Amino acid sequence: MTTKNKSIEWVEIFNLYNTIKSLYALCEETDPELKTNLQPLNEFRAALDHLMRIVGIENLPEYKDKDIIEEARKLKSHLARALFDICDMLSINYRNKICDILDPFDIDVIKEALPTYYSKIKPRLEEITEEIADLRTNKRFEKEEDSIEAHYKIIKELKEFYVVIKKAHPSLIELNKKRKKSKCKENIIPIVAIAVAVVLAVIGWIL
């Protein structure tokens, strides 16, 4: 967009928009039906409204009395809220997916397939849950830019954990099968031993 007003931080606005697009794509991957993602669309619509007002101010006389800087501020604010909403959804989606992968397996299987899960990943996931709660109540940052960066960093970290755990899923399944077979053998041996003892006892009684 060519703008007559040089005081609007278009690079920052477009960087924010591109970040939102990439995060929204992740939302589509983690929640294909996008059941919980209506609020960001409302923020997008509001942002578009302010963007069109900026275009109007610069090109149409009936908008000349509008404050272009205020419209740009509101545009960025709606984009930021869209990012926060998307990050909230993504954080929930990633944590749920991690739980879905790990829930069927016991602690020993998880420890063997993912040696750092209980020492590093799980404690960090619990910390992230608290950090997200702080971000939602705006307790950590005064500047919107700092909050945006913190949200993005958390999502990036959650994605990395999810990828690691997802890659370990085949190993979790294989280890679980081996453990079940081993337990089955352990249970069969005493039964066979008892059966043999009974048979021998019966034979001895007959003889």
How far is the C-alpha of 165 from the C-alpha of 102, rounded, in Å?
8
Q: What is the pLDDT of residues 179-200, one digit of tens each?
A: 766 665 455 555 545 655 555 5
With vertex at residue 10, the alpha carbon angle to CA 9 and CA 13, rounded to the nearest 5 degrees, is 95
Q: Rounded mean pLDDT of the chain? A: 82
Q: Which range is most confident: 60-74, 111-125, 129-143?
A: 111-125
Q: First CA to last CA across the chain, in angstroms? A: 103
**Angle of CA points 14, 142, 89, to nearest 5°:** 60
How do residues 144-162 score in pLDDT, each as one tens digit? 778 888 888 999 999 999 9
Q: If 0-12 CB within 10 Å is exposed, 13-18 middle and 19+ buried, where does residue 77 land?
A: middle
Q: Quick check: 145 and 109 in contact, CB under 8 A?
A: no
Could you give the CA distance from residue 164 to residue 166 in angstroms, rounded to a whole number? 6
Euclidean distance between CA atoms 14 and 20, whole angstroms: 10
**Cα 165 vs. chain centroid, distance in angstroms?**
13
Q: What is the pLDDT of residue 31?
A: 78
pLDDT band at residue 2 under the 50/70/90 scheme: very low
Query: Can you give the pTM of this predicted structure?
Result: 0.75
